[in-house]
Amino acid sequence: MKNEKLENLRHSAAHLLAAAVMKLWPDTKHAIGPVIDDGFYYDFELAKPLSEADLPKIEETMKEIVKSWKGFERHEVSADEARTEYKGNPYKRELIDEFAGEGQKLTIYQSGEFRDLCRGGHCPHPNNDLKHFKLMSLAGAYWRGNEKNTMLTRIYGTAFPTKKDLDEYLTMREEAKKRDHRKLGQELELFTFSDLVGKGLPLWLPKGTIIRNEIEKLAIEMEDKFEYLRVSTPHVAKEELYLTSGHLPYYKNSMYPPMVMDDGTYYLKSMNCPHHHIIYLDKPRSYRDLPLRLAEYGTVYRNELSGTLAGLLRVRMLSMNDAHIYCTADQVEQEVTRVIELTAYYYQLFGLKDYWFRLSLWSPEHKEKYIDEPENWKHAQDVMRKILKKLNLPFEEAEDEAAFYGPKLDVQFKSVIGREESLSTIQLDFLAKSRFKLSYIDAHGKENGQVFVIHRAPLSVHERFMAFVIEHYAGAFPAWLAPIQVRIAAVGKDHQAYCHELAVLLKTMHIRADVDDDNETVGNKIRKASNEKIPYTLVVGDKELQSAKLAVRIRGEQKVVEIDKGKFVENLKKKIKSRSSDLLF
């Protein structure tokens, strides 16, 4: 949720950062310094490169400068005056020309000796308010995100109203480093990337594939319960399909380049919906067929810029927990409610709690951006709003942010490491019916073209969801998700044969088990299993050979406990079947 005071504080800190850099390196050209989710940044063109070692020096300069900053003075200037002031700065001049061309007022804000082109939004007393800040890192960034432009130096920082808030944030950042899905993915051998394959194209290793399969299995089970029909569609399609859907030419920059074949031009699939519409059209539909729910764990491809890729959170190959529901206007409320219920079930199962909904609406003042069906817009938005209120769900509204074909409902999620992301989405589409001529035969035997389409992905893109799950559990997955559920550690060579027999027994019961029969101490084997975050470690020595008992070390527990073998297997099977997050017996 928006916090205006905090945003103003951080925007002021961005000014302060720019002032410090300009004081230390006067020949610097400063570009822009916006507020972001957890802080701020400022982009600079510098005569010499900076390193992380320069950040403390910049911070100290910021602390000295801010002592004389009593406030921010607003100066309204003409375009010519602004151009004169920034005659040596091409970045500011580009912004000035752009803003002036749009008829915007140009303002410069000054604190102390530092002046910056700015729309405003600052803390009232920077010398008192702006004390608790920290510079976090450096990065390269193309001017305005365009790889054809100059590469600038971006300095990231954060600021808070109190020292306590800042300290808590820095502690959370340290925890975030430990939970980083990229780090854990490598350590736990879940996925990898290769420049030879290409950036943003994850390779799922055997252990990561097990987790992927378990999540897809969950989706299949739940979608069967909610009466979805599973389909499968190809990874490529002809240009005509995407022209019909409207994705070409408007979405072309996000799609991979065309492939010219002997029978036409093809594109890699970047969305599943047009393919599902064709399946809907495979035969005439009756009102008795609706709602029709088509589901697919479909892989799509997006032409993301290499500089925007970030582990599993932003990739070029996406496996979506996708489905499209074809229904009448009267069925929209019930179907969207069921999708929300399914989404809430998934979140409860994974223990994800800190989330809210964002309802993105159309804007009647910007009709050129949206399908021109005011009555459908009103009906759809009223239905969405009614559902959220009826279910007593926290939500915010965002005008002029809908998809061009209908309103959308995004689930905004705050992860365990404090990062806010859009995770799941529900979108209502009343454009597909006209583009694909979707219809059904109504109760009176007449053709009705008012087919509403609900796009939904409660488990999001698989790669993004996996990043959240890895970080949420810090790699310590519940038993049902763990790639290895049971590690059997042999005390000595005389115990190895029994360990392997036990592993075979567990595998026949669909329990994932392996044996550690390396020539190491039991202590080392237990530590290794702990580092691999395996839920259960069975220690097999002479005592276990001669009894029906198992010596079990449960992840997170210090003591090895004695459990009857039959009881252990029975209870573990129940935990796996119920997808319990509790490891204790």
Q: Got the DSSP string for 358-400?
A: EEE---GGGGGGS-S-HHHHHHHHHHHHHHHHHTT--EEEETT
Query: What was the pLDDT predicted at 70?
Result: 93
Q: Which amino acid is at 322?
A: D
> 572 with 459, same domain?
no
Q: What is the pLDDT of residues 42-57, one digit of tens each?
A: 999 998 899 999 999 9
Instruction: Flag whether 201 is in a domain.
Output: yes
The Cα–Cα gap between 241 and 250 comes to 14
> 523 with 379, same domain?
no
The Cα–Cα gap between 170 and 165 comes to 9
Share of the chain above pLDDT 70, in %: 100
Instruction: Flag whether 262 is in a domain.
Output: no
| Per-residue DSSP letter, 461 | B
> 192 with 95, same domain?
no
Q: Which residues contact 8 (CB under 8 A, 6 or more apart)?
A: 121, 122, 123
Give the domain-ending residue among 165, 199, 217. Answer: 165
The Cα–Cα gap between 95 and 58 comes to 26
Query: What was the pLDDT predicted at 453?
Result: 96
> 351 with 435, same domain?
yes
Assess contact for 155 and 41: CB atoms under 8 A: yes
Query: What was the pLDDT predicted at 371?
Result: 83
Q: Which amino acid is at 307?
A: G
Instruction: Flag whether 57 is in a domain.
Output: yes
Query: What was the pLDDT predicted at 271?
Result: 94
Q: Across 216-338, where does the E strand assignment appear?
A: 229-230, 236-238, 259-261, 264-268, 292-301, 317-327
> 491 with 464, same domain?
no
The Cα–Cα gap between 132 and 226 comes to 50
Q: What is the CATH number of the domain that holds 540?
A: 3.40.50.800
Mean pLDDT of all residues in the chain? 93
Query: What was the pLDDT predicted at 566?
Result: 93
Q: Which of 218-232, 375-389, 415-429, 541-555 has the lowest mean pLDDT?
A: 415-429
Nearest by Cα to 492 from 466, 522, 457, 452: 522
Q: What is the pLDDT of residues 63-92, one digit of tens each?
A: 999 999 999 999 999 999 999 999 999 999
Query: What was the pLDDT predicted at 339?
Result: 96
Does the pLDDT at position 353 exceed 90? no
Nearest by Cα to 131 from 39, 66, 68: 66
Q: Which residues pair with 355 in a beta bridge?
A: 413
Per-residue CA distances from 380 to 67, 338, 372, 383, 450 (Å): 53, 16, 13, 5, 13
pLDDT band at 152 (very low <50, low <70, confident <90, very high): very high
Q: Quick check: helix, strand or coil at residue 181?
A: helix
Q: What is the pLDDT of residues 156-215, one digit of tens each?
A: 999 999 999 999 999 988 888 889 999 999 999 999 999 999 999 999 999 999 999 999
Does the pLDDT at position 457 exceed 80? yes
Does the pLDDT at position 418 exceed 80? no
Instruction: Flag whether 266 is in a domain.
Output: no
End-to-end Cα spacing for the chain: 40
Assess contact for 38 and 158: CB atoms under 8 A: yes
Share of the chain above pLDDT 90, in %: 82
Does the pLDDT at position 419 exceed 80? no
The Cα–Cα gap between 339 and 124 comes to 45
Structure token pair of residue 368: 């050129």
Tally Cβ neighbours within 10 Å of residue 388.
20
Q: What is the CATH number of the domain that holds 42?
A: 3.30.980.10
> 196 with 317, same domain?
yes
Across 555-573, average pLDDT? 93
> 427 with 566, same domain?
no
Instruction: Flag whether 508 is in a domain.
Output: yes
> 409 with 307, same domain?
yes
Query: What was the pLDDT predicted at 373?
Result: 86
How many CA atoms are closer than 13 Å to the CA of 299, on its beta-carbon side? Answer: 9
> 299 with 446, same domain?
yes
In the numeric block, the tokens 């005569």 are attached to 47
Query: What was the pLDDT predicted at 404?
Result: 82
Instruction: Flag whether 478 is in a domain.
Output: no
Residue-range definition of the domain harbouring residue 543: 486-578
Across 542-569, average pLDDT? 92
Does the pLDDT at position 289 exceed 60? yes
Query: What was the pLDDT predicted at 209?
Result: 97
Query: What was the pLDDT predicted at 68?
Result: 95
The Cα–Cα gap between 517 and 489 comes to 6
> 455 with 494, same domain?
no
Query: What was the pLDDT predicted at 366?
Result: 83
Instruction: Flag whether 246 is in a domain.
Output: no
Across 497-518, average pLDDT? 95
Assess contact for 259 and 265: CB atoms under 8 A: yes
> 441 with 303, same domain?
yes
The Cα–Cα gap between 339 and 222 comes to 11
Q: What is the CATH number of the domain that holds 405?
A: 3.30.930.10
Query: What was the pLDDT predicted at 365?
Result: 82
> 291 with 214, same domain?
yes
Number of domain units in the chain = 3
Q: Write the Ramachandran bin of 119: left for phi over 0, alpha for psi from -120 to 50, otherwise beta.
A: alpha
- Torsion (CA) 465, 466, 470, 476 in degrees, nearest 10: 110
Q: What is the pLDDT of residues 102-141, one digit of tens each?
A: 888 899 999 999 999 999 999 999 999 999 999 999 999 9
In the numeric block, the tokens 């997170």 are attached to 556
